[in-house]
Amino acid sequence: MTTRLFVPIPSPDVHGEVTNVAMLLVPGFMLDADLWGEVVPALSEYGPATYADLSQDSSITAMAHRALSQAPPEFVLVGFSMGGYVAREIVRQAADRVTALVLIATSARGDSNVELQRKKAIAEQTGSAVFKGLSRTAVLSSLHSDNADRADIVARIQAAGQRLGGDVFRSQSLIDRRDERDDRKSIRCPTLVVAGELDRLRSRTEALELDQGIIGSSFEIIENTGHMVPMEAPQRLAEVMGEWLEQQRAGC
């Protein structure tokens, strides 16, 4: 995956002063760097930006290890959906390298019974099963109803699915997401939890669980969005992230 570079992102050092540090962005299920295509330019004062590639590994632990191996020495860490699980594993593996954490439309819960049954069905599929891409119905379930006619967003999500393909779909579908609610208090870096206003894939309750379980975290809701916050409201998301990072710069 190509890494695109931007100007340095400020973050507070141990004395509350600003140093230049990078940003590591982690996408979600069947998504890649294009997820952040309109967010990063809106944060034009921040960077350099590095994008985690989740297409090469079949476990959260391995994904985190790979991302760390390609990341700068220190960085602001941003994880979306499944990428939130990877981001928290990155913190567990290398807490001293993460200067701040942003968790978007994600959860600390393990797989539900419904998700476990879906995984079982996928695991039982034979090699003849052909991945035909992400359906429009599936994509629309991830969007706010006001964005159902956003053909541009639907096309971007489906295009990412086609780029990643059937092998990655199967691998990511079978990933074990363990319940991490008991681990939340181990996160010690400044943390921002962001939720979509009407996210049908990750509930408001799940987002609040994260916020309430992480010491000193901040919580924001992005209006008029479903699950796909970085695509549905990239400018507003960038504003929220930028304002929060400025608060960290100021030592608030």
Rounded to the nearest integer, the mean pLDDT of the chain is 89
Distances (CA, A) of 231 to 35, 113, 242: 6, 29, 17
Question: Is 1 domain-assigned?
Answer: no
Question: Is 123 domain-assigned?
Answer: yes
78 and 102 in contact (C-beta within 8 Å)?
yes
Q: Note the pLDDT tens digit of each residue in 133-153.
A: 999 999 999 999 999 999 999
**Interval 196-218 mean pLDDT:** 96
Q: Note the pLDDT tens digit of each residue in 56-67.
A: 999 999 999 999
Question: Is 32 domain-assigned?
Answer: yes
| Number of domains observed in the structure of the chain | 1
Q: What angle do CA 7, 8, 13 make, to 5 degrees?
A: 170
Question: Is 220 domain-assigned?
Answer: yes
> Residue 250 has what pLDDT?
77
- Determine which of 6-10, 22-26, 57-61 has the lowest per-residue pLDDT on average: 6-10
Q: Note the pLDDT tens digit of each residue in 221-251.
A: 999 999 999 999 999 999 999 999 989 887 7
> Residue 126 has what pLDDT?
66
In terms of residue numbers, what domain contains 221? 9-250
> Residue 55 sits in a domain of what CATH number?
3.40.50.1820
> Residue 129 has what pLDDT?
61
Question: Is 3 domain-assigned?
Answer: no
Please tell me the total number of residues recorded for the chain in this structure: 252
Question: Is 227 domain-assigned?
Answer: yes
> Residue 119 has what pLDDT?
85
Residue 129 has which token pair? Answer: 């099963």
